[in-house]
Amino acid sequence: MRERIRTRDYVLTIHAEEQMDEDGLSILDVESAVLTGQIMEQQVDRAWGDRKYLVRGRPLEGPDSVVVVAKLGPTRKLVIVTVYTL
């Protein structure tokens, strides 16, 4: 995941963008959370069978921690499904 963030090989869902706006987070905050974070949980999407990862890390500014929910898409890009603050 970190390599995909570093190489900007990722996409955001509309839901993730909306959540970022609601929580006052920038894309740099999301990138920082993945680069500094740890996987705190792994889930299996019931509908698709995909594995999703909940990564808790530090944003550049703002709240103490951010959770980024991400998975690898069919094209092997990192898909940021949603983001929320703790």
Radius of gyration for the alpha carbons in the chain, expressed in angstroms and rounded: 12
Which tens digit of pLDDT belongs to each residue from 52-66?
999 999 999 888 899
- Read off the pTM: 0.92
Give rounded-to-5 percent helix, strand, coil for the chain.
Answer: 30, 35, 35
Q: In this structure, are residues 69 and 83 in contact, taking their beta carbons and an 8 Å threshold?
A: yes
What confidence score (pLDDT) does residue 83 get?
98
Domain range for 62 is 2-85
What is the spatial distance between Cα 44 and Cα 53, in angstroms, rounded to a whole number?
9
What confidence score (pLDDT) does residue 53 get?
97
Q: Look at the chain and report how many structural domains it folds into.
A: 1
What confidence score (pLDDT) does residue 47 get?
80
Burial of 17 (0-12, 13-18, 19+ CB in 10 A): middle
